[in-house]
Amino acid sequence: MEISDLSQAEFYLQHLNYYRLGAYWLPFESDHTTHLFRSGTKFEEVLSLYVFDRELRLLMLDAIERVEVSIRSQWAYQIAHLHNPHGHLDATLSVNNSRWQKNLAKLTTEVNRSDENFIKHLITTYSEALPPIWAVCEVMSLGLLSRWFDNLKPMKTRRAIAMVYGVDEQVLASWLRHLSLVRNICAHHSRLWNRDFTITPTLPRNKPVGLASQCIPGSRKLYNTLIILLHLMDMIAPKHIWRIRVKDLLSEHETLVTAMGFPADWVESKIWRC
């Protein structure tokens, strides 16, 4: 590897960790066994790839946060209106009682350790097993929300939540599982750009019209995740500029999109048009 500024390289290795940065120079190796690099490989290229991935993760977290807040709100709203304000305490609303008990135990732990003033107020003011659903949803993780929705039994309620996002309830359940994984990868600062996901999202069929054709069937790469987030962002924040921010980042690193499963003509796809 060519290192034009040794002190700069030492500085970044000191703060980024050799092992972490090593994951980004793997694509530049001609022989992983001997750790020989392709001729002309520069340290600055590796560092640029790392910085790109970091910026990409931050963009993903920005969108996932807004999606998470929206779906938590719909989960609480629909259960409260179709059942009761403490529907999360009703085991009959679950498909599997054992899973419901585990979810409830996790939610109880989250509530008890919360330092939010509104949670403290509700606990000290009212005698109830847990605060109402519109309050406890605010301390739920995306993973717990995903597991709760997956175990939610009343089909009318599941469909009411999914309808807000224009998809089938089974598709939404799959998206939540996938986005929970992606969120955890980003939150733990792990490599994202060329990852093959172990949990892939179910692609829509008929709803919403045309979205399936924007996706890549069978792909384990990030491209389908971006399509899903674009659709969800269009539903919950119609005036968002997230699409523009993603395209701007990708335009600075055009050579990296192939490793994320992007098709050659992705810019021409309807969902990417501003």
Whether residue 274 is predicted with pLDDT greater than 80 in this model: the reply is no
pLDDT attached to residue 74: 98
Residue 150 lies in a domain: no
Whether residue 254 is predicted with pLDDT greater than 90 in this model: the reply is no
Helices and strands, counts by H and E, the chain: 11, 2
Residue 26 lies in a domain: yes
Residue 158 lies in a domain: no
Neighbours of 225 (CB within 10 A): 26
Whether residue 146 is predicted with pLDDT greater than 90 in this model: the reply is yes
46 token code pair? 């590796």
Express each pLDDT in 90-145 by its tens digit: 999 999 999 999 999 999 999 999 999 999 999 999 999 999 999 999 999 999 99
Give residue 27's domain range: 6-49
SS3 35: coil
Whether residue 35 is predicted with pLDDT greater than 90 in this model: the reply is no
77 token code pair? 């709203």
pLDDT band at 27 (very low <50, low <70, confident <90, very high): confident
pLDDT band at 186 (very low <50, low <70, confident <90, very high): very high
Residue 43 lies in a domain: yes
Residue 197 lies in a domain: no
Residue 13 lies in a domain: yes
Residue 30, H or E segment:
strand 29-31
Residue 31, H or E segment:
strand 29-31
Nearest one of 11, 63, 99 to 231, comparing CA atoms: 63
Bridge partner residues of 152 (DSSP): 94
pLDDT attached to residue 89: 97
Residue 29 lies in a domain: yes
Residue 245 lies in a domain: no
* Average pLDDT score over residue span 70-80: 98
**What's the Cα-to-Cα distance from 26 to each of 42, 49, 53, 174, rounded to whole Å?**
13, 11, 14, 31
Total count of domains within the chain:
1
pTM, to two decimals = 0.94
Whether residue 243 is predicted with pLDDT greater than 80 in this model: the reply is yes
* Average pLDDT score over residue span 150-179: 98
Nearest one of 271, 231, 215, 228 to 247, comparing CA atoms: 271
pLDDT attached to residue 170: 97
